[in-house]
Amino acid sequence: MSDSATANRPASNAPSTGLLEGIVQAEGYKYGFTTDVETEDAPPGLNEDTVRFISAKKGEPAWLLEWRLKAFRRWQTMAPPDWAKLDIAPIDYQAASYYSAPKAASGPKSLDEVDPELLKTYEKLGIPLGERAALAGVAVDAVFDSVSVATTFKDKLADLGIIFCSFGEAVREHPELVRRYLGSVVPQGDNFFAALNSAVFSDGSFVYVPAGIRCPMELSTYFRINAAKTGQFERTLLIADKGAYVSYLEGCTAPQRDENQLHAAVVELVALEDAEIKYATVQNWYPGDENGKGGIYNFVTKRGACRGARSKISWAQVETGSAITWKYPSCLLEGEGSTGAFYSVAITNNRQQADTGTKMIHIGRDTSSTVISKGISAGRGQNTYRGQVKVLSNADGARNYTQCDSLLIGKRCGAHTVPYIDVRHPGAKVEHEATTSKISEDQMFYCQQRGLTAEDALSLIVNGFCKEVLNELPMEFAVEAQKLLAVSLEGSVG
């Protein structure tokens, strides 16, 4: 936890107005604007030339082009996963464009050099840049479509030896680190979308925290899909060296469009001995309209490797957006005594579909993992928790605790819990608890009798349901998450 965030956090459970304000201000999907910036795009289509084009545009070294091509060839032999609970129209991978960059953005050195249109966009998104960032203690690496346009706080971080930059810059400035760790957690052929990302990834963020350093602020990246018909394929690589600590926040929004857009990111985390990584995501990509038209397909591979002894990785996510979400942030618990955690809130309303969960792979001795998943379904939303706990034969003393709670609002939605438990060590302790509940009318009436509107009552109850997960988010994010939950549930009380 950074000092600044601690200072901002109200004492214990002191009330905050964020929730109610959020509902009052809510006007549907408020990030659905587009920004007029000249862009340079790749022609639609996907073949080896596309891969070469992207690599050349980014001025990449030969080894990386080779790496991409290898992934592309692998991808061609693979088939999309077949969706257990998802209803998904076939995607035409040849129809999308795989590269889009704002034209003027070839490396601004300071905020003054950034296209004012872009800055306005970030302002609308509420991203604290510049002075606001300083006050908030947040360093922002803002990714606009494919090119990272502004990185703040780099100098302050650099003093500590912390590297926080765009992926492209990392390839240029720190090729040895990138080469050592890229693909070491999520191999190219891991799955269809990871292979696709490996071939055509555009940009993303890179973080390296050197041994013994606690990163003094929350690092934050806002991704934004702006250009129409472009897929976004970020690649995030985060390494915490021995004894290092870092907390990373990722927020996502996208403009409102009728076509579906593809978002296939890969995030790799590496924690060495005694290192700790906290990774929080608030995802509110455009979910499509109430009939299921448009919206983002969010197919993301996120995985962290606890390589060193006693290392810790925790994922916290609030998933309110996207038409379809397919995502299983996972932990490979290799180091002795390492710890993995997954805290998730996933909400589906209207025609949204979410298939999300985690994989905890216990490889080393005395490894432990905790999974807390809160799924909320409203409208015709379908919410599936899919979680795997695997304990390998050498993992003496492995422990897992999984708690999956589902909340249903209305009669046409669904919640599904699919645990896969694969234990190959007789001494492993694996606990799984699952509950499904409905919002009770008595609770609603109790709140309304105290003066809360039906919307406020619902949002209060839902926030209460998610409390254990929201508590895991840094303060600024928790407030935003509460607002998003309220917005996402709009129209689900009659």
Partner 1 sequence: MSKLLEIRGLRARIANGREVLKGIDLDVAAGEVHAIMGPNGAGKSTLSSVLAGKPGYEVTGGTVRYLGQDLLAMPADERAREGVFLAFQYPVEIPGVNNMYFLRAALNAGRRQRGQAELDAQQFLKAVRDRLKLLDIGDDLLRRAVNVGFSGGEKKRNEIFQMAMLEPKLAILDETDSGLDIDALRAVSDGVNRLRDPARAIVMITHYQRLLDYIVPDRVHVLADGRIVASGDKTFAAELERTGYAYLGDAA
For partner 1, the binding residues (CB under 8 A) are: 10, 12-17, 19-20, 440-443, 445-454, 456-457, 460-461, 463-468
Residue 65 vs residues 6, 48, 50, 256: alpha-carbon distances, Å: 43, 10, 11, 33
Please give the DSSP secondary-structure letter assigned to residue 242: T
For the bound state, the minimum distance from the C-beta of residue 471 to partner 1, rounded and expressed in Å, comes to 9
Measured from the CB atom, is 90 or 451 closer to partner 1? 451
For the bound state, the minimum distance from the C-beta of residue 269 to partner 1, rounded and expressed in Å, comes to 29
Residues with Cβ within 8 Å of 415's Cβ and at least 6 positions away in sequence, in order, are 375, 377, 383, 384, 385, 406, 407, 408, 436
For the bound state, the minimum distance from the C-beta of residue 457 to partner 1, rounded and expressed in Å, comes to 8
SS3 string, 31-64, reads CCCCCCCCEEECCCCCCHHHHHHHHHHCCCCHHH
For the bound state, the minimum distance from the C-beta of residue 410 to partner 1, rounded and expressed in Å, comes to 15
Is 378 in contact with 348 (CB distance < 8 Å)?
A: yes
For the bound state, the minimum distance from the C-beta of residue 409 to partner 1, rounded and expressed in Å, comes to 15
- In 127-259, which ranges are E strands? 138-144, 147-151, 163-166, 205-209, 218-224, 235-240, 245-253
User: Bridge-partner residues for 327, per DSSP?
Assistant: 300, 356
User: Bridge-partner residues for 382, per DSSP?
Assistant: 353, 414
Measured from the CB atom, is 420 or 446 closer to partner 1? 446
Measured from the CB atom, is 1 or 24 closer to partner 1? 24
Residues with Cβ within 8 Å of 402's Cβ and at least 6 positions away in sequence, in order, are 370, 371, 373, 387, 389, 419, 430, 431, 432, 433
For the bound state, the minimum distance from the C-beta of residue 197 to partner 1, rounded and expressed in Å, comes to 36
Residue 30 vs residues 256, 335, 387, 393, 483: alpha-carbon distances, Å: 9, 44, 32, 50, 12
For the bound state, the minimum distance from the C-beta of residue 16 to partner 1, rounded and expressed in Å, comes to 8
Is 282 in contact with 448 (CB distance < 8 Å)?
A: no
Among residues 213, 121, 111, 113, which one has the least CA distance to residue 152?
Answer: 111
Measured from the CB atom, is 17 or 77 closer to partner 1? 17
For the bound state, the minimum distance from the C-beta of residue 432 to partner 1, rounded and expressed in Å, comes to 20
User: Bridge-partner residues for 246, per DSSP?
Assistant: 277
For 297, half-sphere exposure in the C-beta direction (CA atoms, 13 angstrom radius) is: 20
In angstroms, rounded to a whole number, what is the distance separating the alpha carbons of residues 301 and 328?
7
Residue 459 vs residues 340, 385, 449: alpha-carbon distances, Å: 30, 22, 15
For the bound state, the minimum distance from the C-beta of residue 15 to partner 1, rounded and expressed in Å, comes to 4
Give kind and range of the element (H or E) at residue 117.
helix 116-124
For the bound state, the minimum distance from the C-beta of residue 6 to partner 1, rounded and expressed in Å, comes to 18
**Sign of the CA dihedral running 443, 444, 450, 455:** positive
Residues with Cβ within 8 Å of 135's Cβ and at least 6 positions away in sequence, in order, are 128
For the bound state, the minimum distance from the C-beta of residue 128 to partner 1, rounded and expressed in Å, comes to 22
Measured from the CB atom, is 34 or 471 closer to partner 1? 471
Measured from the CB atom, is 366 or 476 closer to partner 1? 476
Backbone torsions φ then ψ of 264, nearest 5 degrees: -130, 90
Three-class SS state of 93: coil
Name the pairing type of β-strands 100-102 and 205-209. unpaired
For the bound state, the minimum distance from the C-beta of residue 24 to partner 1, rounded and expressed in Å, comes to 9
In angstroms, rounded to a whole number, what is the distance separating the alpha carbons of residues 146 and 232?
7
